[in-house]
Amino acid sequence: MLLFDIHTHNKAANPTTAILNSSCRLPDRLISTGIHPWEITDNHEEQLAVVREAAMHRNTVAIGECGLDFLKSTATPEVQEQIFIAHAKLAEEYKKPLIIHCVKAFNRLIALRKNFAPQQPWIIHGFRGKPQQTEQLIKAGFHISLGEHFNLESAKSIPADRLFIESDESRLPIADIYAAIAAARGLTLEELAEQIERNMRIFGQF
């Protein structure tokens, strides 16, 4: 049984089933590459050039995490949106899903998606929102990734083919996170793992 982890910052995570968030390409493991909204600097053209370089690499299976954080980022909403859209364009160009960090900016993100109309999946990572927000995001076409902390009702309501699982910065083994989500959805660990494995097709290599 494979337990895929679509977003982790833990360098010790399994290199073939966990997608490490990395700012530079690593030839020996799966990564995603992007500029976190907390890490946007004045030199963002230079930062984007690094992402662009990593994006074309074969082991880079996703773009991000990138996104909008209207609570904690020091960059203005306008700059955040500009950088986010640059990532969304890379996702389309290289046909790789987009992993999104979104805090206090969901209405804006939904509007951007409508306008941009992506072909590639847009995945909200580390989602903790309530069922009403879940419904809104699912209707708008997003995929949703759950980690250690999630809303129980939301975890039940995400359609099976839109769900992903991640460890992010958690210290828990990914198996524990799967077990909690399986319990929330009334599934066995194996059933959940099989579903997520099917969903991993959007990353191309699985």
CA 61/CA 206 separation, integer angstroms? 10
Any contact of residue 5 with Zn ion (CB under 5 A)? no
Q: How far is the CB of 72 from Zn ion (least distance, A)?
A: 13
User: 159 or 173: whose CB is closer to Zn ion?
Assistant: 173
Q: How far is the CB of 191 from Zn ion (least distance, A)?
A: 26
User: 104 or 198: whose CB is closer to Zn ion?
Assistant: 104
How many residues form the binding site for Zn ion (CB under 5 A)? 1
Q: How far is the CB of 138 from Zn ion (least distance, A)?
A: 21
Q: How far is the CB of 115 from Zn ion (least distance, A)?
A: 25
User: 17 or 157: whose CB is closer to Zn ion?
Assistant: 17
User: 134 or 167: whose CB is closer to Zn ion?
Assistant: 167
> Could you please report the per-residue DSSP string of the chain?
----EEEE--TTS-TTTEEEE-SS--TTS-EEE---GGG--TTHHHHHHHHHHHHTSTTEEEEEEEEEETTT-SS-HHHHHHHHHHHHHHHHHHT--EEEEEES-HHHHHHHHHHH--SS-EEE-S----HHHHHHHHHTT-EEEE-SS--HHHHHHS-GGGEEE--BT--S-HHHHHHHHHHHHT--HHHHHHHHHHHGGGGS--
Q: How far is the CB of 166 from Zn ion (least distance, A)?
A: 8
User: 69 or 81: whose CB is closer to Zn ion?
Assistant: 69
Residue 165 bridge partners (DSSP): 146
Kindly write out the interface string for residues 114-153 of this chain, putting x where it contacts Zn ion by CB under 5 A and - elsewhere: ----------------------------------------
User: 50 or 103: whose CB is closer to Zn ion?
Assistant: 103
> Among 167, 156, 168, 160, which Cα is nearest to 143's?
160
Q: Which of residues 147-206 bind Zn ion (CB under 5 A)?
A: 168
Q: How far is the CB of 8 from Zn ion (least distance, A)?
A: 8
Residues near Zn ion (CB under 5 A) are 168
